[in-house]
Amino acid sequence: MGTDEKGFYPRHRASRIRPPLRSAFAPSLLVLLFALPVAVKAQFTYTTNNGAITITGYNGIGGAVAIPSTINGLPVKGIGSKAFFKNRNVTGITVPSSVTNIGDRAFSRCTSLTTITVTALNPNYTGLDGVLFNKDQTTLIQYPAGKAASYTLPTGVTNIADFAFYYCTNLTEVTLPEGVLSIGSHAFRRCRKLSVVTLPFSLKNLEVGVFSFCISLTNVAIPNNVRDIGSLAFASCTNLAIVTIGSSVTNIGEAAFYYCINLTSVMIPNGVARIGDSAFFCCWGLNNISVPPSATYIGEWAFARCIALTNVAIPSTVAAVGKYAFSDCSEVTSLTISNGVTSIEDCAFGNCSSLTTVTIPESVNSIGEEAFSGCTDLTAITVAPFNSSYSSMDGVLFNKDQTIILTCPEGKSGGYTVPDTVTNIGDSAFRDCYGISLVTIGNAVTRIGDWGFDSCANLESVTIADNVVSSSSRKSKLV
């Protein structure tokens, strides 16, 4: 009553009434007094549960916003997840004493927000220098996204909440004091101007996406107490050049340094057991990597498209080299696979176009499809003599008893005569062997697999016996 349907304040003229009030004007004053809460209420969307209000959204004009302590006579107890998310007009927020729960990312990405104030009597939250904390100031909950320049966390803080600094695009430098134990998921994600981060020795873990998309960050030292670098922790930090990883780290999570295209130097300490999938994917500037003897797992795409990498050594402790783990590492010229490795998975070294030779140790019992496809300079694959699953002859990879040709290296050139022991030319066995010009297939061969001679562009002549009873319908390409 007394407002229009959009909830705005009613139009009225400035009153000239002086005490004592004349009775004729008293009803108008009462209308105005009751209209104020209605207008405030109209700025918010909310839910009611068990006699308490939770603010779920804000549709007011912005500026400094005071959250009411009651709506319709019911206490406002909560501010829901993403209630003010991405609001660009709010500059300040005051949280009343009635609010006991603030949801995830309630004030995230409010790019004009510079201060969050909490009423002194609030039992669960407090504000300090415009920053939102829990009551005892041990957890930093939200740093206003519009707050500028550098920031040093106060002494006593032990935790930084998930998304606490998310999208703080004006933040340039942050110092975490000793005593901080954990930094929540995505805490500093997309802090685009953040160039300096000081991490304390007390820190134990870096959670998922914690510094992802911090495109101005150039140098990071991960303290010695940190044990786990979470997935996507530094993903797409495109100017990150130097990383020092502390001695206690045991796990480098999936895509932890994904697309750090200017990363040139990282030392993986002995103690790291797991290098996750895509951990260093597209680190174009990384020219040297040492996988420590503590490593047991190299994930899929772990070092794929590290186009400056020249040397790769896989220690004996690694059981399997994951799918595409080093694919598209086009400058790798030296590859050492230690005895102890049991599996080289599909396309693990695909498109390593500068690799010239590969030695398979005796421990390997599984080589995936196209493990060395696209290695256009590869002229020889050599298998250790005591390998129980594979063998080699004249640089070509066979099964143990040499009845199946598995892979002819793509850099091999000239003529090739299939040994008399061979009965089966495997799928894709000579695929992309551009330098092969002549092939003689012996009488024992009864099968030529799918894509067996596909894309042998310079193959001029093939001699094949009449007793080949099975030849692929899918581009064996015998010419």
For 56-87, the pLDDT digits (tens) are: 999 999 999 999 999 999 999 999 999 999 99
152-267 folds as 3.80.10
Q: Tell me what the mean pLDDT of segment 250-267 comes to.
A: 96
Over residues 438-465, the mean pLDDT reads 90
Q: Measured between alpha carbons, how far is residue 1 from residues 6, 23, 30, 74 in Å?
A: 12, 20, 11, 19
Q: Do domains 152-267 and 402-479 have the same CATH topology?
A: yes
Q: What percent of the chain has pLDDT over 90?
A: 85
Q: What confidence category does residue 37 fall into, taking pLDDT thresholds of 50, 70 and 90?
A: low
Q: Break the chain into its structural domains and give their ranges.
A: 152-267, 274-378, 402-479
The single-letter DSSP state of residue 26 is H
What is the per-residue pLDDT for 365?
98
**More confident site: 467 or 215:** 215
Quick one: pLDDT at residue 41? 62
Residue 49 binned pLDDT confidence (cut-offs 50, 70, 90)? very high
Work out the pLDDT band at 218, boundaries 50, 70, 90. very high
Model pLDDT, residue 18: 37
463/123: higher pLDDT: 123
Burial of 389 (0-12, 13-18, 19+ CB in 10 A): middle
Under DSSP, is residue 35 helix (H, G, I), strand (E, B) or coil?
helix
CA of 457: how far to CAs of 377, 461, 477, in Å?
16, 11, 10
Convert the pLDDT of each residue in 21-33 to its tens digit: 334 334 443 333 3
Name the band, by pLDDT with cuts 50, 70 and 90, for residue 478: low
Q: What is the pLDDT of residue 149?
A: 82
H helix or E strand, kind and range, residue 34: helix 26-41
Position 357 pLDDT exceeds 50: yes
Distance CA 157, CA 138 (A): 4
**Mean pLDDT for the chain overall:** 90
Residue that wins the pLDDT comparison between 349 and 476 = 349
> What does the pLDDT average to over 363-379?
97
**For 125-138, how does the pLDDT look when each residue is reduced to its tens digit (9 = 90+)?**
999 999 999 999 99
**pLDDT for position 34:** 41
Q: CA-CA distances (angstroms) from residue 64 to 96, 193, 212?
A: 14, 26, 30
What does the pLDDT average to over 267-295? 96
Q: 274-378 adopts what CATH topology?
A: 3.80.10
DSSP string, 45-84: EEEEETTEEEEEEE-S--EEEEPPSEETTEEEEEE-TTTT
Q: Give every CB contact of residue 26 below 8 A, 6+ residues apart in sequence.
A: none
In the prediction, which pLDDT does 441 show? 92
Reported as a single tens digit per residue, the pLDDT across 385-433 is 999 999 999 999 999 999 999 999 999 999 999 999 999 999 999 999 9
Q: Which residue has the tokens 């894309």?
A: 455
For residues 468-476, average pLDDT: 55
Residue-level pLDDT at 93: 98
pLDDT at 472: 53
Residue 324 pLDDT more than 80? yes
Q: Is the pLDDT of residue 264 over 50?
A: yes
Q: Is the dihedral of CA 223, 204, 139, 171 positive or negative?
A: positive
Flag whether pLDDT at 476 surpasses 90: no
**Residue 375 pLDDT:** 98
Tell whether the model's pLDDT for residue 13 goes beyond 60.
no
The CATH number of the domain covering residues in 402-479: 3.80.10.10
Tokens 């319908």 correspond to: 473
| Residue that the structure tokens 């390409």 belong to | 477
Least confident of 158-162, 255-259, 367-371, 447-451: 447-451
Distance between CA atoms of residues 237 and 32, nearest Å: 55
